[in-house]
Structure formats: structure tokens, C-alpha cells
Chains A and B, each alone.
Chain A
Amino acid sequence: MKTPDFKGTPLFDRLCWAKENLEPVQTDYCVVYEDSVDECAKVLIVDQNWLSCALQGGILPPVWVYHELAKDEATEGFTKHTRGYLLHQTEPVEAMTEEEAIEYLILKDCPRHVWETWNEGNKPKLVICTKQQLPQTREWRNSWAISEELAA
């Protein structure tokens, strides 16, 4: 199915169109990252409806738009977004591969300090792996950390 010309269409409307017209896509991949040495590893699970939008193309804004909004929100005295138009009026990104989509999500939903310094230190702070590579039960979930095996 061809994506309509969505430039200028509110992003929410595009996501509604996608939900109605695209098949959800499940991925085996997830992102594991360590936000803080005092906390257990966190796992990002990709949403199947979002992934169908990424693979389709022409729906999602470029990831820098989210960074701009995050910058605004971190400004002292922030009360409400005034540059929401960036989500709706910026040229949507082309179709991504599954790998590109996950890289996009790392930049969008992982804390900046994690992806900016992911490979500094004794071991990576962030890895992309399959769900099968994670523990298969949630026992000791709060002790999960990126192991050497996973980091490799």
C-alpha cells in the first residue's frame, strides 16, 4: 500500500492511518541498556504498530525533531510545547530497514547520555540483541546487567 503524502498532516492522524491500514510487525530484536550503575539493565521493546510505520516510510518524522522537543522541555520555565509543528510539518523519513528502525528508537527513547557514550568504559552500556538472548524468566529481574557474552 502506498503511503499518502503526509507532510503537514498531524503525526497522530498518520499513526491512526497506519493502525487502520498496515499490518503490525513484531521483531525479535530489543535494546538493552544500562542507564545508571546503581540500577538494573533496562530493555526497550519495540512496538509492533510503530515498527510497521517505520518499515512503510513516509509516516514518521526524523528523529532530530524529538531531540528538539526534548531540548525545549528541558528548558527552565517550560510549560507547553510551542514547536509541535516540527512533528507534523517536517518531511517524513523514508522507509527504514528493521536495523535502521531500531537505531532510530535508540536515539528517540534511550537517554541521550547512554547512546552518546555507549561504548566508553569497560563494557558497552547498550546492546541490540534478540529476546531469546535475554533470561527466559523474570526471576532476579532487578539483577539483570549486560553480560560479557551479550556485549560480545
Chain B
Amino acid sequence: MAGKIIADQIEHSTAGSLDTQYVVNGSAKAWVHFDAHGDAAVSGTPISRDSLNVSTIGDDGTGDYTVNFGSNFANGFYASSGTGDHAQYMFCVDPSINPTSSAFAMMFSYQPGAGSDIDIDNVSTIHIGELA
């Protein structure tokens, strides 16, 4: 690819230097923003607004979604975080099963382990970790 710079460190004129491994290891390797209620045209099916390194979103039921990655992580021990909203409430991403290197399944409910999950809009998740 054009414009490739190979460097182990970057240095600021006054603020010091930084190993580029911090940039490589510390940046998100996958992210997505989607709405469970789709859009005005098709409101029954979730719609992805934007993403990186995502192949599909799984709509697994009310409040249950899966993000499938294009490039696998090294294992399931990457870090994930995210939020979503419904009415006046804000929700945090809650993994529904152990993440795998290729997929992150999540659920949204008013309280962890609640019997009924709830569909969320403005779902955004980021995933940080080592890629395979």
C-alpha cells in the first residue's frame, strides 16, 4: 500500500515520545453503529449506520444482537464497550454469551438477567484487542 511509514516510535517536539505499539494495540479493531428499529422505510429490521471490520449484524430477537467480524480477533478475550438508547433510558452493552474471535453477541435489558430484553436504537460498540 502507498504511504506506508514503518516506525517503532513517534516523537512530539515538546511532549515526549510514544511507542507506536501503543497506537497499534490501543486502537479499536472493530466498531459499529446501528439502530434496531431500522429506518422509516423498513422499521422491522435493524440497519447499520456505519462500521469497520464488520461483516453482518445478527438480529437474534428482541434486544439480542450479534456483531460478526470481518477479520477475526486472536481469541475471545478482546475488550468491548458500547451504549444504546431507548426512550429516556441509556443502556450499556452486555455480552449475552462468551465472545468468540469472530463474533460478539450482546443483549439489552432494563436490568442484567431480566426476563425480557428490549430493542435499542443508536447502538454503538467498539472492540479493542489483538487480531488473529
A87 contacts partner chain B, Cβ-Cβ < 8 Å = yes
Q: Is the CB of B44 within 8 A of A134?
A: yes
Interchain CB contact under 8 A, A134 and B102? no
- Report whether B61 and A40 are in contact in the complex, using a CB–CB cutoff of 8 Å: yes
Indicate if the CB atoms of A105 and B56 lie closer than 8 Å. Answer: yes
* B80 contacts A by Cβ under 8 Å: no
Residues of chain B from 4 to 38 with CB closer than 8 A to chain A in the complex: 29, 32, 34, 36-38
The interface bits of chain B over 37-57 (1 if a CB of A lies within 8 angstroms of the residue's CB, else 0) are 110001111111011111111
Set of chain B residues within 8 Å of A79, measured between Cβ atoms: 75
Cα–Cα, bound, A72→B36 (Å): 32
The answer on a CB contact under 8 Å between B48 and A45 is yes
Judging by beta carbons under 8 Å apart, are B54 and A50 in contact?
Answer: yes
Tell me the interface secondary structure of chain B in the complex: loop
Does A131 sit within 8 A of B, measured CB to CB?
yes
In the complex formed, the residue of B with least CB distance to A5 is B1
Is the CB–CB distance between A16 and B61 below 8 Å? no
Task: Kindly provide the distance from the CB of A129 to the nearest chain B CB, expressed in whole angstroms.
Answer: 10
Q: How large is the interface on A (under 10, 10 to 19, 20 to 34, 35 or more residues)?
A: 35 or more
Which residue of the partner chain B has the closest CB to A31? B56
Please provide the chain B residues from 57 to 88 with a CB less than 8 Å away from any CB of chain A in the complex. 57-62, 68, 70-72, 74-75
Name the residue of chain A whose CB is nearest to the CB of B67.
A47
Per-position binary interface string of chain A over residues 1-21, scored 1 when its CB falls under 8 Å from any chain B CB and 0 otherwise: 000100001111101110100
Whether A131 contacts B70 in the complex (CB less than 8 A), given A43-B59, A45-B48, A48-B48, comes out as: no
B-side contacts of A141, CB under 8 Å: 44, 61-62, 119
Contact in complex: A87, B55 (CB < 8 Å): no
A69 within 8 A of B: yes
Give CA–CA (A84, B68) in the complex, Å. 17
Q: In the bound complex, what is the Cα–Cα distance between A4 and B68 (angstroms)? A: 25
Shortest beta-carbon distance from B42 to chain A in Å: 5
Q: CB < 8 Å: which of B37, B56, B132 contacts A109? A: B56
Once A40-B61, A109-B55, A109-B58 are accepted as A-B contacts, the answer to whether A10 and B131 lie under 8 Å apart by CB is yes
Interface residues of A, Cβ cutoff 8 Å to B:
4, 9-13, 15-17, 19, 24, 30, 39-40, 42-50, 53, 60, 66, 69-70, 73, 78-81, 83-84, 87, 105, 108-109, 131-132, 134-138, 141-142, 144
The 9 A-B pairs of least Cβ separation, nearest first, read A84-B132, A81-B132, A43-B59, A11-B71, A109-B68, A45-B57, A141-B62, A131-B42, A50-B55
Residues of B that sit less than 8 Å from A by CB: 1, 29, 32, 34, 36-38, 42-48, 50-62, 68, 70-72, 74-75, 100-103, 119, 131-132
